[in-house]
């Protein structure tokens, strides 16, 4: 049985981790933000805690496994909702936001299970990817002779390449 302080710690960590991922998406003008990913992570941690309450301490049963599988299958629907196709069939947007929703769900699961080193390591790596990924990708394209941004949308003058349908703070 997990005590109150551990429940608060696990659910609080999941909410903060998911919200931090969502804040990154929101600040970049993406269609999924702090509240959404905070709720995704909190929700997954909640169901994992429920599943863990029904088993012996330290045991990971088939029931817990089925709960996690169901959560990860269901999160695909939320992710699919932020993926948008514009213009021709090759201009797809929102894939990173969908991946962030899936990641927030996974972080929530791990918070619910109480594996803090995994949570911390995953968050650090995720924020490195989200912060440096595009720059690294552009540098590698340039260094290897590829096109700068072969899948990116045409950007109007004065418009950020990160501009999306969502307006932060509104």
Q: Over the stretch 106-163, which tens digit does the pLDDT of each residue have?
A: 898 889 888 898 899 899 989 988 888 888 878 877 888 765 544 444 444 443 444 4
**Lookup: tokens for 21:** 């991922």
Q: Provide the residue ranges of all domains of the chain, joining segments of one domain with +.
A: 4-143
Instruction: Check: CB of residue 22 under 8 Å from CB of residue 100.
Output: yes
Longest CA span, the chain: 60
Structure pTM? 0.63
Q: 65-82: per-residue pLDDT in tens?
A: 888 888 888 887 777 877
């Amino acid at each position: 049985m997990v005590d109150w302080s551990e429940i608060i710690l696990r659910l609080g960590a999941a909410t903060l981790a998911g919200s931090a991922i969502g804040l990154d998406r929101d600040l970049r003008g993406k269609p999924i933000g702090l509240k959404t990913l905070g709720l995704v992570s909190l929700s997954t941690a909640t169901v994992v805690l429920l599943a863990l309450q029904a088993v012996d301490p330290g045991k990971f049963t088939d029931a817990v496994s089925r709960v996690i599988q169901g959560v990860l299958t269901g999160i695909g629907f939320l992710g699919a909702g932020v993926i948008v196709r514009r213009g021709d069939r090759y201009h797809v947007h929102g894939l990173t936001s969908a991946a962030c929703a899936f990641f927030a769900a996974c972080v929530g699961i791990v918070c619910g299970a109480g594996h803090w080193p995994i949570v911390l390591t995953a968050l650090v790596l995720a924020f490195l990817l989200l912060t440096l990924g595009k720059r690294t990708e552009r540098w590698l394209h340039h260094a290897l002779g590829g096109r700068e941004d072969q899948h990116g949308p045409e950007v109007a003058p004065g418009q950020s390449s990160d501009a999306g349908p969502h307006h932060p703070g509104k």
